[in-house]
Amino acid sequence: MIRFLIICLIFFASCSKQDSSSVKTENENNSNTSSLTRERVDSLLVSNNIFQISYNEKYEQPNWVKYTVRDIVKNADRDGIEFYTVDSIYTSDDQDYYSNRWDRGHMAPAGSFNDSYENLYSTFSYLNVALQYDDLNRGTWVQLEEQVRQWADELGDIDIEIYLEFDSSHIVLDTGAHVPTAFYKYVIFPDSSKKCYYFPNSTPNKAWQEYEIECN
C-alpha cells in the first residue's frame, strides 16, 4: 500500500506542475526507458483533471477509464502533440504499435478535451491508450465518440466508463504488451439513464448503434 501511494503521488506531482510550457516533463523519447526496479502491479489508480484510470502494468494496458464529456469550446489543436510515457509507471510505448494493425486507441478522446492545451495533451499519455484494431479505432469507435459529444451538447454532461476485456486467448505481443479482446463502453446521461456498448477488438461489421447491449 505504501508503494502504491508513493507511485501515485509521484505521478500527481508531475501532472500538477504541467502547463502549456512545461508539459514535456515526461519521457521525451516516447518510449518507456525509465529504469524502474519495483514489481509491476495489475491495478494502479491514476487520476488527473480529465480522467480516472485503473492501469494494469503487467498487461501494459488500462483496466478501465472513466471521464466526463461536456459541451466545450475548442481552444487547442493536436498538431505536433505526440504520445508519451510516464517515467514512474510501466506502460506500453511506441514499440508496441510499430508495423502492425494496432492503433493507439484513445480511451478518453482527444476531441472531447480540446478546450485547453493541458487537457488535450493529457489524452496523449500512454496511460490513456489501448492497443485497438485500426478499423475499429477509425470507424465505429470514433463515430460513437462523436455521438457522445453531440449528446453532451444537447443534454449536458455525459459520464463515460470504459472497461477492457482480456479473455484467456487474448494476444500478447513480442514486446510483452497485451491486446484487449474487446471494450465495454457505458454512456451515462444527466438523468442517470444509460446506454451500454460492446465492441470486439476487430474489424467492425455493423454500425455503431448495433453494438449496443443490455446494461447490467
Q: How big is the chain, counted in residues?
A: 216
Task: Name the DSSP class of 14.
Answer: H
Task: Give, in degrees to the nearest 5, the angle at Cα 104 between 103 and 107.
Answer: 120
Q: Could you tell me which residue, 27 or 205, shows the higher pLDDT? A: 205
pLDDT tens-digit map of 142-192: 999 999 999 999 999 999 999 999 999 999 999 999 999 999 999 999 999
Asked if the model's pLDDT at residue 13 lies above 50, the reply is no
Position 216 scores a pLDDT of 82
pLDDT tens-digit map of 98-147: 999 999 999 999 999 999 999 999 999 999 999 999 999 999 999 999 99
CATH number for the domain spanning 67: value is: 3.40.570.10
CA dist., res. 171 & res. 89, Å (int)? 22
Number of domains present in the structure of the chain = 1
Asked if the model's pLDDT at residue 71 lies above 70, the reply is yes
Range of the domain at 208: 2-213
The enclosing H or E element of 193 equals none
CA dist., res. 107 & res. 35, Å (int)? 27
Q: What is the pTM of this model?
A: 0.85
DSSP readout, 139-166? Answer: THHHHHHHHHHHHHHHHS-EEEEEEEE-
pLDDT tens-digit map of 25-36: 234 445 554 568
CB atoms within 10 A of CB 167: 8
